[in-house]
Amino acid sequence: MRVLRLALRRLAASLPTLLLILAGMFLLLQLAPGDTVDALMAQMGGGDPALAEELRRFYGLDVGIAAQLGRYILRLLTLDLGFSAIYGKPVATVILERLPPTILLMISALSFAFFFGLVLGVVAARRVNRWPDTLISTLGLVFYATPSFWFGLMAIVLFSVYLQWLPAGGFGDITQSLTGIAAVLDIAKHLVLPTLTLGLIFLAIYLRIMRASMLEVLSLDFVRTARAKGLNETRIVVRHVLRNAMLPMVTLIGLQAGTMLGGSVVVESVFALPGLGRLAYESVVQRDLNTLLGIVFVSALLVISINFVVDILYARLDPRISSDT
Amino acid sequence: MRAAKAYLRSPAALMGTAILFAVLVMGLGANFLYPADPLGLAGRPLQWPGADPRFPLGTDPSGRDIAAQLFHGARISLLIGVVATSIAVVIGIAIGALAGFYGGIVDTLLMRVTEAFQTLPNFLLLLVLVAVFGSTMETVTVAIGLVSWPPVARLTRAEFLTLRTRDFVQACRVQGLGDAHLILREVLPNALPPVIVYASVVMAVAILLESALAFLQLSDPNVPSWGNLIGLGRSVLRTEWYVSAIPGVAILLTILGVSLVGQGLNDALNPRLASGR
């Protein structure tokens, strides 16, 4: 209960941040040349000023910027993100349609990076300065330096073109309508390469942090005590060291949530996944600023909720946090 | 001196320096080796590397020399990396120093802004900036700098928080020295080493951000950028995959060089932390 209250307080503290982001983004987009009506009129192939006036009133663009900002934030409270002129649908609907692939991709990439980062980090720390450590650390450096989109393209060449093991893109086979287990397996098959591509750089970061954190915890007094008690090395690592060494990794999930969401923009366009990131890219190309603003809002919400979950996780892993306050 | 010696003893740092030096030479030598416009037509399109001795790395779908683009691209990547990093470091130090030195309401306000920037995915913010201000090389560079400063600000603030109460700072304060002197001459030099080390991470991320933007064809199309070439190679990926593969290796090696130099600097400047590994 205490944990939840603590996390809720942190959540409340992020509300001003969210407001700041929205106001900043809204003002920034005012600097963009032309507004929604200009874009619409251009699409219709021109029109008379009276129609433009009418449309401006319809989209609420006929009042001052401050009034527009006030209205926008009031509308957001009712989760009304406005209307996308390009898609001809409410922005909220467009975004909701695109959210599942992105969330699925982020969860799978995070699990992949976290699990293998943990395992490799532990192995490297147990064999510090010997060949497994050197190999893993070098791999970490190379993975960190690999541009994700390039890795994705090369994976397509190898696994889709030459070996033909995995599909090159998309979020499911559209030629056949699959149901049940078959559909789930199909989506899973389509997510393998994107997951590896997005997760690679985070794998590199996690394994490096895990290795350093393991080395630090392994040198602490309670580990010496555990050894003196005669516990075997595996038990010491699994029961005593791991939980403590994992703390920096958990912090990192929260810190990297935004970076991962940004990375999914690139990965989704490499693999033609119909997700939020690809929507962001499309709305930049099509100058659909209303949608872009909506995506920024939803992304910020996503990052804040990930941090909320991380706070709870952290407090569960480290009982000192909830008992101190 | 001790730091320089420690740096030169580390094989990782030397390797990183060698790679970065090679990229720098590539960038500087581009105009001498390939004086013609790297984006101009050079020969028959899509020739495999080695097929024509004139084009050791082959040609792209538009018949442009890949080697020439690679050399000129080195200059663009390094330039954008260095300038964007400088912008990010200057903003980050300014905000972090003010927040850490003064504390209180200044700190709260500045940290709220920093938090706002960190909550927003930086690539998404970069997309918004490019959508609003266009994608010339200058705006892209400034935009990358603008999205990369928050970690620098946090790091600088943390350093200032521990340093500002130290005796030597108090002594200067008692002597009646002004805040500007305290911040710039007393605290900042002591806070710099970890910030310099972190600048290598900022630079690696800046180069990656630019190449990702160019890959999506949202960066300046009139400059030969590595990311741009990878994006162009996408249309012929199934058969002529070398068009995308070659510039990717160049990016990988450059980032590797920057990371290794950063690691070397870290071991040399923070010897206490380095002894653990």
| Interface contact flag, B256 A145, Cβ < 8 Å | yes
Residues of B in contact with A144 (CB under 8 A): 204, 255, 259
Which of B119, B208, B226, B246 is the best substitution to test chain A (most A C-beta atoms within 10 A)? B119
Rounded CA separation A78/A245 (Å): 42
Q: CB distance A284–B127 less than 8 Å?
A: yes
Q: What is the pLDDT of residue A34?
A: 64
Report CB contact under 8 Å: B116, A17: yes
- Contact (CB<8Å) B253/A145: yes
Q: Report CA dihedral (B94, B100, B266, A237) to the nearest 10 degrees.
A: -140
Whole-number pLDDT of residue B148: 92
Q: What is the pLDDT of residue A267?
A: 92
The per-residue pLDDT for A113 is 92
Per CB-CB distance under 8 Å, the chain A contacts of B204 are 144-145
pLDDT digits (tens, 9 = 90+) for A193-235: 899 999 999 999 999 889 888 888 888 888 888 888 888 888 8
What is the ipTM for the molecules in this complex? 0.85
Nearest to B120 among A21, A141, A144 (CB): A21
**pLDDT < 70 stretches in chain B:** 1, 42, 271-277
Q: Which two tokens stand for residue A12?
A: 């409340």
Residue of B nearest to A268 (CA): B216
**Which has the closest alpha carbon to A305: A245, A247, A250, A258?**
A258
Nearest CA distance, B145 vs chain A (angstrom): 16
- What's the 3-state SS for chain A? CHHHHHHHHHHHHHHHHHHHHHHHHHHHHHCCCCCHHHHHHHHHCCCCHHHHHHHHHHCCCCCCHHHHHHHHHHHHHCCCCCEECCCCEEHHHHHHHHHHHHHHHHHHHHHHHHHHHHHHHHHHHHCCCCHHHHHHHHHHHHHHHCCHHHHHHHHHHHHHHHCCCCCCCCCCCCCCCCCHHHHHHHHHHHHHHHHHHHHHHHHHHHHHHHHHHHHHHHCCHHHHHHHHCCCCHHHHHHHHHHHHHCHHHHHHHHHHHHHHHHHHHHHHHHCCCCCHHHHHHHHHHCCCHHHHHHHHHHHHHHHHHHHHHHHHHHHHHCHHHHHHC
Instruction: Give the closest of B118, B238, B260 to A161, CB-based.
Output: B238
Would you call B65 helix, strand, or coil by DSSP? strand
pTM greater than 0.90: no
Nearest C-alpha in A relative to B240: A157
Contact B131 A289 (CB under 8 A): yes
Smallest CA-to-CA distance from A322 within A314, A222, A305 is with A314
CA distances to A57, A271, B147 from B116, in Å: 32, 30, 11
pLDDT, chain B, mean: 85
CA atoms within 13 A on the CB side of B50: 1
- In chain A (325 residues long), the average pLDDT of successive 10-residue segments reads 76 84 83 68 70 73 74 78 78 88 91 92 86 88 90 88 78 68 79 90 91 87 86 82 86 85 89 88 82 88 88 80 56
* Confidence at residue B275, expressed as pLDDT on a 0 to 100 scale: 43
Residues of chain B with Cβ-Cβ distance to A16 below 8 Å are 112
pLDDT at B272: 57
pLDDT for res B143: 93
